[in-house]
Structure 1
Amino acid sequence: MGAETFPNSSMGWVHVKDVANAHILAFENPSASGRYCLVERVVHYSEVVKILREIYPSSKLPKPRDFRRVCKLKRGVSIVNLYSSIMLTAVHILCADDEPFVPTYQVSKEKAKNLGLEFIPLEQSIKETVEA
């Protein structure tokens, strides 16, 4: 917190407790094998800033800007890919590179859920991380 911008990237987020729990569940399950993608959700950093703003409204976070001034469409870029659920309002927060938000991607949780893993929501993970 305290930065004026954030990285223009999307990434998968998972609580460290979920990672530890997945290791235990895999160890205890004889049919567990291979690799497991442990991702509660893939979000753009703008979504993380939005969550932080909701949890800590008085914190110094990147300020909202008019999206039309911030993001420039480039030739060949799909508008559908640029607009994630966070980007449906008129006011957005400034990316460090002043470029269109990179799109998010999907990661299957099916294999991890088949172990019995129930992911901690991103909002709770962020709150616990800040308060740790």
Structure 2
Amino acid sequence: MHYAGRELPPFNRFVDVRDVAYAHIQAFEIPSAAGRYCIVESAIDVSKLWKILHQLFPEFHLDEKFEDKPIKKLYQVSKEKIKSLGVNFIPLEVSLKDTVESLKEKGFISF
């Protein structure tokens, strides 16, 4: 898959920065916390990401060049260990909506 002449990864991992901050605090404050934690809310392909953004912001004219072919070898990251710290992930849709609205509010994007 290409966009603007660049090869895009077939899928991406997403997590809200607020969840990352909370997980760091929890890992510091909970005495039993040890080792490494994967902090991933979801792993989705780029076409699904574009669909979500288009549904949330139809007025934002996104490039329609992305093929609607789901990646066959998509994987999920286990959330079991990170949830042991009390992390309840902000859903991707909420994170994307909040991010775009924040960027609009600060004047970084407009549509």
> Quick check: which has more Rg, 1 or 2?
1
| 1:124 corresponding residue in structure 2 | 94
Select the structure with the greater relative contact order (CA < 8 A; seq sep ≥ 6). 1
Distance 1:4 1:62, change over 3 A: farther
Which amino acid in structure 1 is aligned with residue 67 of structure 2?
A: L
Identity of aligned residues (%): 47
Give the conservation status (yes or no) of the 8 Å contact 1:40–1:122. Answer: yes
Distance between the aligned counterparts of 1:4 and 1:62, measured in 2? 10
Give the conservation status (yes or no) of the 8 Å contact 1:10–1:44. Answer: yes
Runs (5+) with no aligned partner, structure 2: 103-111
- Give 1:105-120 correspondences, 5 Å limit: 105-120=75-90
Task: Give the secondary structure class of the aligned counterpart of 2:13.
Answer: strand
TM-score w.r.t. length of structure 2: 0.77
Distance between the aligned counterparts of 1:129 and 1:39, measured in 2? 17
Task: Give the secondary structure class of the aligned counterpart of 2:89.
Answer: coil
Aligned pairs, number: 98
TM-score w.r.t. length of structure 1: 0.66
Distance between the aligned counterparts of 2:8 and 2:96, measured in 1? 17
Runs (5+) with no aligned partner, structure 1: 65-92
- Give 1:21-36 correspondences, 5 Å limit: 21-36=22-37
Which amino acid in structure 2 is aligned with residue 114 of structure 1?
A: S
1:57 partnered with 2:58: yes
